[in-house]
Amino acid sequence: MDLTKQDATKKHSNSTQSQHCFSAADQQGLYKAIFNRRDVRGQFLPKAIPNETLSRIIYAAHHAPSVGFMQPWDFIIIQSHDVKKQIHQSFAQAHNEAETMFEPSKQQTYKNLKLEGIIESPINICITCDRERTGKTVIGRTHMKEMDLYSSVCAVQNFWLAARAEGVGVGWVSILHHEALKSTLALPDNVVPIAYLCLGYVSHFKDKPELESANWLARSPVEDLVSFDSYGKKAETKEQSSLVSQLQADKRFPSLFKL
């Protein structure tokens, strides 16, 4: 990333035409990140992530939307082997408990899936939500109390996309007990863990989500997920039908950006 201020200034002179719709090249950069992002568990390399790179990824997360401009997130960066080992033990316990929850026919498949890279990834990061960051009453959170949690999730997604663009793999580990995370990371009562992420360079990014490749579940046809004016109400007007047709015609749109 060599973008200098000079480049930025040059670009600025184009701002009137480019302020709204991005150029095809800029759109491509975003869509590449979206369609090539993967939940990485098994391909981590020990190579260190430079602080220059990590800083950019954290800035991307920090510019997520947040309800009432709360910015409720914190970033706990974990490199201590002892802390990683404790988290890994919590994972192992939860993973054992999880196995028995699946139907017997699925238990073996579940056991064979690699679901975390806590120890082998060079950095773990926990992104949290401080539910009291800006006092009791928050604009936009008066009726939907969960909005601060969702803000931190938006930060996670920005983080993940920026990491992908920087060539860094991210895996979200959710087979953990909240209480174990809270005690290992010494989170105060008002701070909720949102995402425990494993971070590192990778040997390769997989072409598809692993659960899709493993035939655990298929990608849903997106046109089945769209309804109009009311839940599940199918297209009735010409305009609505034309959106459904467009979604069907665009089935290969994501694959145009595959690397």
* Of 186, 165, 188, 202, residue with least CA distance to 36: 165
Provide the b/e sequence for 240-249 (b: ≥16 CB within 10 Å).
beeebeebee
Amino acid at 89: Q
* Residue 252 to residue 236: CA distance in whole angstroms: 25
Angstrom CA distances, 16 to 5, 79, 126, 167, stand at 19, 45, 39, 32
From CA 256, how far away is CA 27, in angstroms rounded? 12
The nearer residue to a copy of itself, 93 or 120, going by C-beta atoms, is 93
The minimum distance between CB 119 and a copy of itself, in angstroms, equals 15
The least distance separating a copy of itself from the CB of residue 84, rounded to whole angstroms, comes to 9
Which residue, 121, 134, 252, 108, is CA-closest to 190?
Answer: 134
Q: Shortest approach of a copy of itself to residue 22 CB, angstroms? A: 4
User: Is the Cβ of residue 114 or residue 120 nearer to a copy of itself in the bound state?
Assistant: 114
120 or 134: CB nearest a copy of itself: 134
- What span, in angstroms and rounded, lies between the C-alpha atoms of 26 and 194? 30
Residue 31: Cβ within 10 Å count? 14
Give the shortest CB-193-to-a copy of itself separation in angstroms: 9
Three-state SS for 249? helix
Pairing mode, strands 123-130 and 191-201: antiparallel
Tokens 């290969």 found at: 252
Give the residue with the Cβ less far from a copy of itself, 106 or 120. Answer: 106
**Residue placing its CB nearer to a copy of itself in the complex, 56 or 120:** 56
Pick the closer one to a copy of itself by CB: 119 or 154. 154
Pull the structure tokens for residue 27. Answer: 């759109």
Least separation in angstroms between CB 181 and a copy of itself: 10
Name the minimum Å distance from CB 111 to a copy of itself. 11
Q: How far is the CB of 108 from a copy of itself (least distance, A)?
A: 14
- Nearer to a copy of itself by C-beta: 118 or 187? 187
